[in-house]
Amino acid sequence: MNEFRLTRRQPLRFGLAAAALALAGPALHAQTWPAKPIQIVVPFPAGGIVDNVARAMLPKLTTSLGQPLVIDNKAGAGGSIGTAQVAKAKADGYTLLMAFDTHVVNPMLYKLSFDSEKDLTPVALVGTSPLIVVVPKDSPANSLKELVAMAKSKPGVLNFASTGAGSSNQLAAELFKTTAGVEMTHVPYKGGAPAITDVLGGRVDVMFVSAPSVLTHIKAGTMKALAVTTRERIAQLPEVPTVGETYPGYEVQSWVGMLAPGKTPPDIVKRLNAEVRAALQVPETKALLQAQALRLASGGPEDFGHFLQVEGERWGAVIRKANIKVD
């Protein structure tokens, strides 16, 4: 009979083997991922720009990843409720976040239950979009200069709508107030729909609003576009000037991007980035998003990380200067 004897070298071999398996864990996981459905948390209601972008990419992502992707709309607190869900999720590539521009300012406005830098990792910047400066169709202002003249003639009387304190709408308007040297009163709403409704009804004087939300109204003549906030004019409204044409240096853009839990294996993050970029090149998807004035991005996870850092620093300065707080 052969006896099994454990030599002094064998425990060392077993230990080394176990260590090797532990180190190879993420790589092995990445090779088998995905093996089940993937959840994409959209921290805003269905029908908004973030939700629309996520759903536009679903067909291509489902095909290329070989697993269904399920969208979970988890709205509230400027997107921070849904973001917290992803930040605390298992970092295995099966829970992802579609974030909006509020992502970088929420840590400055809310007491969050997570660290947005440590608990989340950038995957891909999907695209950027201009805001449009809109006024009611019967507004006396037909240009940015006329709007500024009105504001200066009655300091603080003109009001501007936003989708809530700390939203990109408010931040863009606050930056404009400083740039143009005017005073206007902030009127926050709980969401974009009621704010846009009151612009259409003439109950608020002006709004800095994401292009996809109002392009239909502008083209129908039910509200007027005075300017776009990006550096260049947009193809959908070539006759509308940029804010920078009147106030050089002013530039604001909203954005949509994908993030994952903080310790998601790098190989999975890299794969997701590649798949998102491929999805954006599908002709039907590309045409749909570009028709909404979304400028599609093409960078890697590191590029998105740098973008988030720059955006955070910029808007942090605006928040401090305007003393913006969330009640």
Residue 327 in domain: no
DSSP H helices, the chain, are 9-32, 49-65, 80-87, 106-109, 144-153, 168-180, 192-200, 211-220, 266-279, 283-291, 301-322
What is the domain count for the chain? 2
Q: What 3-state class would DSSP assign to 187?
A: strand
Q: In this structure, are 136 and 238 located in the same domain?
A: yes
Residue 80 burial class via C-beta count within 10 angstroms: exposed 0-12, middle 13-18, buried 19 and up:
buried
Q: In this structure, are 143 and 283 located in the same domain?
A: no
34 cis-preceded (ω within 30 degrees of 0): yes
pLDDT of the chain, 327 residues: tens digit per residue: 444 344 545 555 545 555 555 555 555 555 789 999 999 999 988 888 899 999 999 999 999 999 999 999 998 888 999 999 999 999 999 999 999 999 999 999 989 999 999 999 999 999 999 999 999 999 999 999 999 999 999 999 999 999 888 888 999 999 999 999 999 999 998 878 899 999 999 999 999 999 988 999 999 999 999 999 999 999 999 999 999 999 999 999 999 999 999 999 999 999 999 999 999 999 999 999 998 889 999 899 999 999 999 999 999 999 998 888 886
Q: In this structure, are 135 and 204 located in the same domain?
A: yes
Domain containing 264 equals 36-128+254-322
